[in-house]
Each structure stands twice: as structure tokens, then as C-alpha cells.
Structure 1
Amino acid sequence: MEFLENPIVTAVAACAVTAIAMLMSRNVGKKVSTRTKVSKAGQEKPNSHLCNHTKIFEEQVVKVSENVYCAVGYALANTIMIEGPKSIIIIDVAESNDAARDVMCEFRKITDKPVGGIIYTHFHADHVGGTEVFLEHAKDGKPENVPIWAHQTTGARMLQFNSIMGPIAHYRAAHQFGMYLEKPALENCGIGPRLRAGQNESVSQVVPTHVYSGKHEDIEIDGVKLRLIYAPGETDDQTVVFYENGKILFAADNFYESFPNLYAVRGVPNRDTMQWARSIDIMIETHPEIMVPSHSLPVVGGDEVNRRLVNYRDAIQFVHDQSVRHILARRHPDEISALVQLPEHLRSEEYLKEFYGTVGWSAKSVFAGYLGWFSGFEEDLWKLTPGDYADRIVKMVGSTSKVLQAAEEAYAEGDLQWALELCTYLLRHDRGDTKRAQELKIDTLCKLANTQISANGRNWYMTTVAHQAEGLEIKVSPEQRTKAVSNMPHTSMWASLQVRLKAEVVDGKKHSLCFKIKDPQSSWTLYIRNSVLHFVNKADDQADVIVDCTDESLRRLMANPASIAGSWVTGKFRFEKGSMASFAAFFSNFERGL
């Protein structure tokens, strides 16, 4: 803010920026962490099955048929190219512009035809993050002429995805996918080699231009006839694509070479397992000769494709049915998780091994989907907090040293889960010297990581090691936050504020703030009342603070609080009522981190 010449203006602006920064991310002005190898990761080899699974993600462009190609291994998800007479059609665009650029470089070795159309199979970031790169290759340099097809709900889901959960969604996704890890800590991500959506990756956010509704839609792009089929499974907007020429089924994320991720540990709404199974029935009815998943390698041969799809949907139904069977027997969800196991003839299939989804976690998800959080056991109605439980464990055993001794013995005996839990009790109890408990916990996590066939489990353990032992910071970068806010609907912006209101601070108070926005024109008033934030899409001239601003300056503020000074001085952000101090006071009622 050196450009502010008036010292009074500078002082007021600095005060306001400091207060508003309490709402925004802590990342501003800080160096963002990059990937780490984890110093302890190479001491033992990872699970041999997981290591062998890495081989299928070797970078290659697979020629599926005379005009269909699948790029595998360049990103978490595959990118598929269908070559038409005069242009190419792209199905799924990878998770970042950098990954998409690598893929396009490989496709350019096959053809120099322009991009004539794009299809999103669903809204997940690893399928929609590289669009800008492919649009650069539009015919006559006109990206506006490239149709982007998807289900009618995909665009809204892209814009709303994680807008409320924001920082915690990033934190948990970083753990599941090992986003900050390198070899040897990172072996793979279960459905791809790695997720290229870290701090240094540029990400597109381009919503569909063409949508369909109903059970299916027949489209034609450059003479290529495709059927878009609504098949909700891993997501509710899932689209599989059938290409009659060659009887090729593009399976999206409803099939990949791993037990399906019926529950993602990064945190997702309930996934309807039986709906997923029914969608695979729809896929089977297309009678494909070739299946091209959006993760892992294509499957060739009608009989083999059918066999895999039948086994896959039956494995999903098996987990659902047996979980419900144990629910009806009034068993605890943790018991159900341990009891449900696929039959041997299914779990021995390579494409049903638990590289990504796991049967145990899925069984718990089935329970929660039907019955919610409560186990049905009275001791779980009002459970002790983890800290209180830890204190009682230590008190019962007699001392922290005895708990530590028990943890050491468990570790030596290979009882790693118990060792981890005992170490965690000691750290939560937090009395005296906890250094050895922390060291033992890290050693235990490393050993547990190497037992995991689940890439998600391994990545979670290893990321925890990097975070707790090596100081890894897991945060959304300023660039990523700016990109997200620039496309976020105002309603999502305000909804993000609602869940960051510090109720204990505003208890019994009323505050109001009105934004009168131009370019484009709209008005929003935010009310704090009854310790909640309420917002309406209209101006209130009686609000405590009224701000006239451009949409651009508002979004810059929400992404980077320091921008308010420049917007204020240039007239893009001015007060019709109130002051910078009262504006800052309003935002001081919220937690940091939009």
C-alpha cells in the first residue's frame, strides 16, 4: 500500500485490511507449501499390490479404435479424443491447464485438427480443470464456437462445489490424494498416478454451454454421432457416452480398475449405492465391445466388458445388501465395517481390489445413508469428547508413562492401530513431555501407510506425517482462491460467510451491511441477527453500512483483503454510508478463511 500518499488514508486502510483479513485466508503474503517426499517414507516398501497397480498409470496414448484415443497417466483422470472428419472431440479435460497441455501435446502428434467439441462426464475437478487449453485449439481461434456438453446440473455443481466447505475440503482432499506428496511417500492415487491440482497448477473453470436432461440425448459433432446417457453413480450428474461406431462405451467414473469409491474419505454427501448399480445395468444394456473408463485402461472385447460390468455392479449391491442385513441385526457400524467382505471370487479380481474405494468404509457409508450418525447404541448418544476420553484413559491406566509404555509394546507387537490410538490419547491429554508420543505416532503412521492397499489410506497417513512431523502447510493458494471467487455466484459467497460467523461474538447484536454492485448491476444486504447471517438480493437504505462497488472489486476483496485499499482510492469501492472502520467491524465478526 506504499502508493497511498495520504498518511491518514494509509492508516485507516491498514486498520481495515487487518480486520477484514480475519475473515479471509491466512495465505495472503505467505509462501505456499510445495510437494514433499517425507523423509521417513523410504524406510520400508509400500504394499506390493499397490505398487503393482502403479504400472497401469504409465504415461501413454492408447489407440482404442481407428479414430478414438485415450491419454492415460498424464493426470488423475484420462482424457479421450475422438477424431472427426474436420475436428476432434474431447471427453474430460484433466484437472489443470498444465496437465491438459501435456495431453494436448501428445494428441498433436496424432492430428492437428482443431477442437470441435468438449464433453464433461461430471463436475469433479479432475474432469473439468483443463478446458482453457483445449479451447485455445478451437477452429479459427474462436472458442465460443466450441460446444461444451454436460448434464443440466453439472454447471451449477462446478460453481458450488466446496464453496461452503472450502478450506476443510481442500485439507481433506490433500490428504486423500496426497496432493503435497512426492515419491516415495506418494505411490499413486488409486485411480491415477497423481492429482495435478497443487499450488503451482493453473485451473480452468468453464461451465457447459450445452446441456441435456432426461434419460439420454443424441448429439452430433462434426459428423460424429454420440449418445449422452444419464447414469448417476459416483456423482448424481454422471454422464456416460456411447459411440455406436465401434460400440464404444465411455464409462466416466462408474467403472475403473478398483473397488468403487462408494464413500470418499475426503468427505462427500451420501452416494446412493443402489442407484450406482442401476446405472451400470443401463451401461450393460448398450452392449459395448469396448469400454473406456475415465480412469485406468480401456477394456476390449464384448464378453470381457460385460463380465466386468456385471461383477462390478454385483459387488456394489453385495456391499449394500450385506450392510443392510447387519443393520437389521442391530449391529454397530464399526462392527458392520469389519464384517462385510466381498466373496473371494470377486475380491480376487484385479479391478475389484481396494486401491481406491474400500468395502469397510463403504459399509459405514451405507449405514449413515440410511440411519445417519447415531449407531443405535445408548453409549453413543452423548459420547465424551476425544479430549475428555483421553484424560479418562490416562487416569484409568495411572500415568502418561504407563500409557506410553503400552503404546510402545503395541508398536513392537505390530498392533499398529492400538499404538496409534494410545499415542493420540497422550497427545490429546497433553500433559508433560509428549515428544516421544509424537515420535512414536509418526513411526506408527509410516508403518500403517505401508500396509495399505488403499491409496487413499496410504496418502492420508503419509500426509499426516508430512504435516505433523515435517511442518507441511496445507492451504489453498491465493491464486486458486482468486480463481474460485472470480466465478462464484454471490449466493455461494454469502453462504460461505454464514458458516464462518462467530456466534459467541455477535450474541444479541444486530448488524447490517448493503452492497450496491455495478457492472453488472445488483444489490445485496447482509443482516446479522439472532447470531446468524441472513442475506437478501435487494438494497436496504437503512443498513448500518452501505457500499457502492464494482463486482470486480467485491470479488477481489473476498479473495484478497489487501485489494480494498486500491479499490477505495480508485473509486471502485466507496462508502455511501458508514466508514472503513465500521465496514471492518462488520467483517471482524467472522472466522478467517473464505
Structure 2
Amino acid sequence: MPTAPKPATPTIAAQQRALLNSLPFSDRQDFEDATRGLVARRSPNAVPNGAGDVVWDNDTYAFLDGDAPDTVNPSLWRQSQLNAVQGLFEVVPGIYQVRGMDLSNTSIIEGDEGVIVIDTLLTKETGAAALALYREHRGDRPVKAIIYTHSHADHFGGTKGFVSQEDVDSGKVRIYAPEGFVEHAVSENVYAGVAMNRRAAYMYGAALARGPQGGVGAGLGQTISTGEVTFMPPTDTISTTGHEEVIDGVRFVFQMAPGTEAPSEMLIYLPDHQALCAAEDATHTLHNLLTLRGAVVRDPHAWSRYLTESIDLFSDVEVVFASHHWPTWGHDRVVKYLQDQRDIYAYLHDQTLRLLNKGLTGPEIAEEIQLPPALENAWNARGYYGSVSHNVKAIYQRYLGWFDGNPAHLWEHTPVERAKRYAKLAGGVDALVANAREAFDAGDFRWAAEAANHAVFAEPAHAAARELLADTYEQLGYGSENGTWRDFYLSGATELRDGQFGTPTETNAPDVIANLSPEMLFDAIAIQVNGPRAWDENLTIDVVVPDTDQRYRVRLANGVLTYSAAEQQGDADATISARRAALPVLAAGDPAALAAAGIEISGDASVLGRLTAVLDPGDKNFAIVTP
């Protein structure tokens, strides 16, 4: 039976009260905007999959009413109340959004004969439910096109809830995406997908019980759905700012913004509606420069410049809507909103560079930096998803890397070995726990977490250490304004007490893998090779893909899998012929599956088995808060 959470300590309760007096909670404009244009709500707003399992339930956030309890930061409580507003909304005539159906929004643009969908949520089930809600109130209009704003799964994973592969293959539906979309979608969701998905389980709190002492929202949205992630490659690629497409009678003007919130991203202007879709580059939060689940560090300098470009390019804009949160209306308000968003990234970038050039390290800058009062009090610039603290460290990492220049940090022991030595220094694990308890009682939860964490890593079965660390994470979560910090802390407490909950949503889904190019598939296999296990292997395989007229020489030697499409000398140990759609079956090496997929092998048939024998797939249940 799950362990009951603890109440907030007096220290946390006092911090919450102080915050209530420091921010402009009397400003209710966001609440007006979040409910403006409501057409209908979905009731109940629970979405099942084909087996009847609920993969999304916005109704579990019904407790977000009234004033914030001591166990939730009042600023995050406010943000979660706004994010939990759900339904079909009219942005302006001809532009609709479905919000509160997943972490992200889907936007539906009405054309001459059908609709154009901008972003499709994370999973097939929530995508289909969002489209059904729209059609229930606006008619059964066919989907003419889909536009992906960027390469994150919560913006393309629900595509098969909107359209079928047959409609795309036949040309009835076009799919538009920014340049580099497929490569970045794959590299994020497949290459590092196991680790990112496991960490995303912490970040989005998908396994947390909903409630004032559990999951209240992730800041960017409430949480992620847990259904089927699907993938359809784009039919059309957008590569230049100013490129215009007329789709079903609607004009779309594109602005490229690579390296901002995603490596492949674009904003979209609808000039006939004077409406800007800001993708995920302007939302009602300070965004991540390095997301806690892990990713490539984003470029805040470029991000701020692209928002300046947006203001200049689309000077007659009257409404801005985005892939998360609620729209902003009115030219002056829109410009102010975009300026605030721009300035927060520019300020963090410039001030971090100023201070690192004075010799401060990332953690020191994070403690030192202060925001201008105008940004500190701008609700859309608050750190609900990204934070000043971890964004500053990301900027430091982007420019200077992981090493802070102190030789003592150049070759540190592993966390377990450091923990053992800290325990010895303290006089044993019991003494280390006693020190952590003293810090906890004094309200110094940051040190309590560090000391108790060393105790757990030195002696994982130490019950008192685990419970104190869980209690500490809980208090840190209660005090966090950042939704993902809260989720991380409370997920850590949950796993310390009740065991690991694994990975509720996997974006490295079969549908994503099925769309890998041969090169991407070989790369995905290569990162699974257990180097030491493969040291003595030396083999070559020719892979022939008849339906695309491609041929590759794959080589395993020195513990490394490499490949080449160039003409090769000599015969390979084996030749495999497989249609492109069947290539993912190779990684399993199961003879029955190979035969069923129509894969033919000639030459030394044992070679494929030798290759699969050295593969070492990731562990989607790896430990995080214990060694």
C-alpha cells in the first residue's frame, strides 16, 4: 500500500505565505483569457484506449479550486488552475483550439472545404478525442493538412488520431514540418529515448497521485497522456522564413526558429486572421533551456532574436496563440507579451555570460542572478517549467561545458563511492542521517537532501535514511514554484517509499521506430552494442533494401557498428534483403519474425545472431534516487 504523504512543515508554510504577498495575485487577466471563446467542454474528460484503460483524465484536477494549500506553492497552484481549464475554444473566427486534453494544445484552422491541424497532441487517443470534440460542435469537416511546429513528441504523437496513413500516402492529406524535423524527432525519441522517457516519468509526474500533496501540474500543462505515440513523416518541408503556403484557401507564412525550444522549430502567421502561432517559443512560462528529462542545450540568444524578428515581421498581429497555454489578444498586449518572453531569455543569457566571465560557476550564478522587477512580476515569465536556476546552469554548460575549472572536480569519485566516503567522514551512516535530520528540523532542506542522499547511496537499505530523504524531497516539492521540480521531488519520494514506477509513456514507440531511415536504424542499433562484449567480434553484413534501391555494408569490429552506402570490395559474411518497413525487425534477430517480415538471408546465417547477441538495450526502469 502506498505510503501517505506528510504535511507541509512550518518552514514551507511560511514561505508560501510570503510569496502570496510578493506577487500580483490580484491580476486576473490570465483567467479571463483562459476561458475566453469557450465553445464547449468535454464531460467527462477522461479518455480511454482500446482496452478501456484511461490514458488521460483532466477531471482528476478538479481539486484545483479555491486558495492554495500549504503543500502547493501558490504561484504554481494558480498556473495549474489555468492549465486545467479544458474544452474547445474559438481564438478568432476560423481558428479553434482544444486545450486541457494533453500536455499540449491542438489548433484547428478552418479552410474552404476542411480543416488544417497545427500540432496533434502526444497520443493517438487524445488526438482522436480532441478532433471528435471539435467535430461535435463545428461539423464533420475533413482534415486537409497537418502542420508540425516542432520535433517534440507532444506535437506529433497524436497524428493517427486525426488522419490515416492511407490518406497521407494518397495525397489527400499533406503534412508540413520545419527542416530537420525527422532527424531531430528521431534523435531525441530513439537514440536517447529510454533515458529521456524514464526521466520524463519524474518530470511530468504521470505516476503521481493527483491532489494537493501529489501531482498538481507540470507548469507547461498538467501532465502527459499515457496512450499510443504515433508518427507520420512530413510530406512537405519548410526551410525559409517568409515562405508562404495557401492550404485549403488559408494563407500561412512561416518563420524558421531552429535551435530555440526545439532544434527544429517554426512559428506560423495567418495574415488573414492577424494571428500568430508562436509554437513553443512564447508561452505563459519561462521555458526550459535544458529540460530536466535531458536534451540538447537550447540557445537563449537565438531564441530572443527570433522573438524580436516575430515582433518586426508580424507588426499587424492582433492575437498570439501557442502549442501550450491560452492565447493573448490585442495588439499592444501581444507585443508586450512577446517582449517579456524575449527579454527573459536575453537577460538570462547576457547576465550569465557577464558573471561567468568574472569566474562564477553555474551554481554560483544561479544564486547570484536577480531578475528585473518588471520580469519578476510578469506572470508569463515565471519559472513554472523552466527555472532561472537550471536555465542559468544550462547556459553555463552551453558555453563552458560540465567542468567548472576547479581541478578538484576534474576526476571525482562516482556518487556511490563519494557517498561511502562522506559516511565515513561523518562517523557512519547513522551519524550522516542525524546530520540530515538536524538540517531538516532547521528548515535547511537543500542540505538535508544532500546529506540524506549520501546516506542512501552509501547504504541503500537504510530505512531511516530513505524515509528522511523522502520526507525532504516532499518538502522541497511542496515549496517549488516550478511544476517539473515539484514532480521530480515528489516522484523521488514516491519511489523511495513505494518502489519504482518505471516509464508510463514511451515516445520511442514502435510507430516512431518503424519510420526510421536505414541510416537511423543502424545508428539506433549501434548505440545498443555492448562494446566490451563485442571486442572480439568481426563481421560484415550487406543490407539490401529493394523497394528503395539502397544497399549498405554494415561492419562490427572493435566494439563499434559502422555502415557505408559506398560500393564495397569483396563479399560480406552475409547478405540480408529486406523492405524498408521490415528493417526494424533485424534488431530482434528472431528467425520467426524475420521470416514473417519477408526478410531473406544468404551467406553465413549465424552472423545476424552474433550481432544481436552483443546488443544491450536500455533499461526503462533504471534507478534514479537509489544506486
Select between 281-290 and 171-180 the one with higher mean Cα deviation.
171-180
Does 1:585 find its partner at 2:613? no
Contact 1:518 1:550 in 2 (8 A): yes
Q: Given the alignment, which residue of 164, 171, 187 partners 2:216?
A: 187
Contact 2:56 2:102 in 1 (8 A): no
> Does the residue aligned with 1:163 lie in a helix, a strand or coil?
helix
> Does the residue aligned with 1:241 lie in a helix, a strand or coil?
strand
Contact 1:513 1:545 in 2 (8 A): yes
CA distance in 2 between counterparts of 1:490 and 1:138 reads 22
Q: Given the alignment, which residue of 156, 161, 164 partners 1:133?
A: 161
1:503 corresponds to: 531
Contact 1:190 1:258 in 2 (8 A): yes
5+ unaligned residues in a row in structure 2: which ranges?
Answer: 1-52, 61-67, 620-627
Percent identity among equivalent residues?
24
Q: Given the alignment, which residue of 184, 198, 210 partners 1:171?
A: 198
Does 1:239 find its partner at 2:266? yes
CA distance in 2 between counterparts of 1:583 and 1:146 reads 39
1:88 shift after superposition? 1.6
2:471 corresponds to: 443
Contact 2:194 2:508 in 1 (8 A): no
User: Matches of residues 32-43 of structure 1 in structure 2 within 5 Å?
Assistant: none
1:391 shift after superposition? 2.0
> Does the residue aligned with 2:90 lie in a helix, a strand or coil?
strand
CA distance in 2 between counterparts of 1:503 and 1:225 reads 52
1:9 corresponds to: none
Cα distance, 1:217–1:379 mapped onto 2, change above 3 Å: same
Q: Given the alignment, which residue of 293, 303, 323 partners 2:332?
A: 303
1:255-298 deviations in Å (ceiling 9; x for gaps): 11111222211111121111000110111121211111211111
User: Matches of residues 252-401 of structure 1 in structure 2 within 5 Å?
Assistant: 252-285=279-312, 286-287=314-315, 288-401=317-430
Cα distance, 1:548–1:293 mapped onto 2, change above 3 Å: closer
> Does the residue aligned with 2:162 lie in a helix, a strand or coil?
helix
Whichever residue aligns with residue 469 of structure 1, its letter is R
> Does the residue aligned with 2:243 lie in a helix, a strand or coil?
strand
- Length-normalised TM-score, structure 2: 0.81
Whichever residue aligns with residue 588 of structure 1, its letter is A
1:136 shift after superposition? 5.2
1:588 shift after superposition? 2.1
Whichever residue aligns with residue 205 of structure 1, its letter is F
Whichever residue aligns with residue 97 of structure 1, its letter is K
User: Matches of residues 109-148 of structure 1 in structure 2 within 5 Å?
Assistant: 109-135=137-163, 144-148=171-175
2:251 corresponds to: 225
1:311 shift after superposition? 1.6
Contact 2:552 2:563 in 1 (8 A): yes
Contact 1:216 1:227 in 2 (8 A): yes
CA distance in 1 between counterparts of 2:598 and 2:276 reads 51
CA distance in 2 between counterparts of 1:402 and 1:275 reads 49
Contact 2:467 2:496 in 1 (8 A): no
> Does the residue aligned with 2:144 lie in a helix, a strand or coil?
strand
Whichever residue aligns with residue 325 of structure 1, its letter is R
1:214 corresponds to: 240
Contact 1:164 1:492 in 2 (8 A): no
Q: Given the alignment, which residue of 567, 577, 580 partners 2:594?
A: 567
CA distance in 2 between counterparts of 1:82 and 1:61 reads 13
Q: Given the alignment, which residue of 441, 448, 451 partners 1:419?
A: 448
CA distance in 1 between counterparts of 2:488 and 2:593 reads 41
2:511 corresponds to: 483
1:528 corresponds to: 556
2:458 corresponds to: 429
Whichever residue aligns with residue 556 of structure 1, its letter is V
1:447-491 deviations in Å (ceiling 9; x for gaps): 211111111111112222333432334248899642232111222
Cα distance, 1:85–1:531 mapped onto 2, change above 3 Å: closer
1:335 shift after superposition? 0.4
> Does the residue aligned with 1:220 lie in a helix, a strand or coil?
strand
CA distance in 2 between counterparts of 1:245 and 1:520 reads 41
Does 1:152 find its partner at 2:165? no
CA distance in 2 between counterparts of 1:456 and 1:527 reads 42
CA distance in 2 between counterparts of 1:207 and 1:573 reads 24
> Does the residue aligned with 2:282 lie in a helix, a strand or coil?
coil
Q: Given the alignment, which residue of 439, 449, 462 partners 2:490?
A: 462
Cα distance, 1:421–1:357 mapped onto 2, change above 3 Å: same
1:19 corresponds to: none
Whichever residue aligns with residue 74 of structure 1, its letter is M
2:39 corresponds to: none
Tell me which of the two structures has the higher relative contact order, counting C-alpha pairs closer than 8 angstroms and 6 or more residues apart.
Answer: 1
CA distance in 1 between counterparts of 2:463 and 2:487 reads 24
Q: Given the alignment, which residue of 433, 448, 463 partners 1:404?
A: 433
Select between 269-278 and 513-522 the one with higher mean Cα deviation.
513-522
Select between 242-251 and 512-521 the one with higher mean Cα deviation.
512-521
Contact 1:159 1:487 in 2 (8 A): no
Does 1:75 find its partner at 2:86? no
Q: Given the alignment, which residue of 435, 457, 474 partners 2:502?
A: 474
1:29 corresponds to: none
CA distance in 2 between counterparts of 1:44 and 1:544 reads 67
Whichever residue aligns with residue 378 of structure 2, its letter is E
Select between 372-381 and 267-276 the one with higher mean Cα deviation.
372-381
5+ unaligned residues in a row in structure 1: which ranges?
Answer: 1-31
Q: CA RMSD in A?
A: 2.9
2:111 corresponds to: 84
1:35 shift after superposition? 9.9
> Does the residue aligned with 2:138 lie in a helix, a strand or coil?
coil
Cα distance, 1:573–1:60 mapped onto 2, change above 3 Å: closer
CA distance in 2 between counterparts of 1:154 and 1:456 reads 26
CA distance in 2 between counterparts of 1:33 and 1:403 reads 43
How many corresponding residue pairs? 550
CA distance in 1 between counterparts of 2:438 and 2:359 reads 34
Cα distance, 1:208–1:571 mapped onto 2, change above 3 Å: closer
1:33 shift after superposition? 13
1:589 shift after superposition? 2.0
